[in-house]
Chains A and B, each alone.
Chain A
Amino acid sequence: MTAFTLNVLFAVIWVAVSGSASVLNLLFGFAVSALSIGLVREQAHGVSYLRRIGRILSLLALFLRELALSAWKVAVLVTRPRLVVRPGIFSFPLTVGRDFEITLLANLITLTPGTLSVDVSEDRRTLYVHAIDCSDIEGARRDIREGFERKIMEAFR
């Protein structure tokens, strides 16, 4: 995470030095500083910063795709003449532990097809998810574990 703060700082400095405060210039400065930090870090201790950025971008792409899919699914469900829903709240055992990761996972779950995160247990081990179609609890758990949770682990561990 320190590398990321450094990256943002470099981007701001780039904007200040180059003298045009537009979003595009900020993005360009961000890309340049990411590239330079990535080069330096690769030399220093082999942690690939660039690859991590790539993984975060792939997480973003997955998220946008799921969002579009979920809106579509709600639309299809709603326009069906006979509404058959089996809603319910199921528990999901968390593998990710840090607050930041749990927040991200809960937000991603809320915006994916048919699921809505309701609560986190006190010990941060269980996430309670409301599903509009709760007939296959094991399947829903597996989807989250092998989809978002793994992507988050890849991106931030």
Chain B
Amino acid sequence: MSLILTLVTVLLLVAGSAFALMGSIGLIRFPDMFSRMHAASKAGTVGSGLLLLAAGLHSADLSIFARALAGFFFFILTTPVSAHLLARAAHKAGYRLHPSSVADHLRQDSP
């Protein structure tokens, strides 16, 4: 039982930090700010959330695990809000998409 718990914890640890690394590599490789936001808001959230879950699981205490789970859901709920706000503010402030972009309907509808 304890071995399984350790195995799952280690798996979550490695998966979480690997996702964080993927997110930051995406941050450096994607062409413009909006695409970079994809990497940061998805891989980043999942990464830190998984690490938090690993910490909760390792404690083997239900109340602490519940707290870690609450933190995980908190991150999941706040990240899209901040990403949406940032994207909207950037677009309104005049940031443009990368030339490789194929469409910008928001630009067409509200110039």
Contact = CB atoms under 8 A, between A and B. Distances in A.
The reply, when asked whether chain A contacts chain B directly with Cβ atoms under 8 A, is: yes
Interface string B7-51: 000000000001100110110011110110111011101110000
A89 B107 contact: yes
Contacts, number: 135
**Which has the most chain A C-beta neighbours within 10 Å: B19, B42, B102, B103?**
B42
Tell me if A's interface is mostly helix, strand, loop or mixed. mixed
**Which has the most chain B C-beta neighbours within 10 Å: A67, A83, A118?**
A118
Given A23-B66, A67-B76, A111-B80, A89 B106 contact: yes
Contacts of A126: 109
A74 B83 contact: no
Contacts of A83: 29-30
Interface residues of A, number: 38
Interface string A63-90: 0000110110011011100010111111
Interface of A: 22-24, 67-68, 70-71, 74-75, 77-79, 83, 85-91, 106-108, 110-111, 114, 116-119, 121, 126, 128, 130, 132, 134-135, 137
Interface of B: 18-19, 22-23, 25-26, 29-32, 34-35, 37-39, 41-43, 45-47, 62-63, 66, 70, 76-77, 79-81, 83-84, 87-88, 91-92, 97-98, 100-107, 109-110
Q: Which 5 A-B pairs have the closest CB atoms?
A: A110-B80, A71-B46, A88-B103, A75-B22, A91-B105
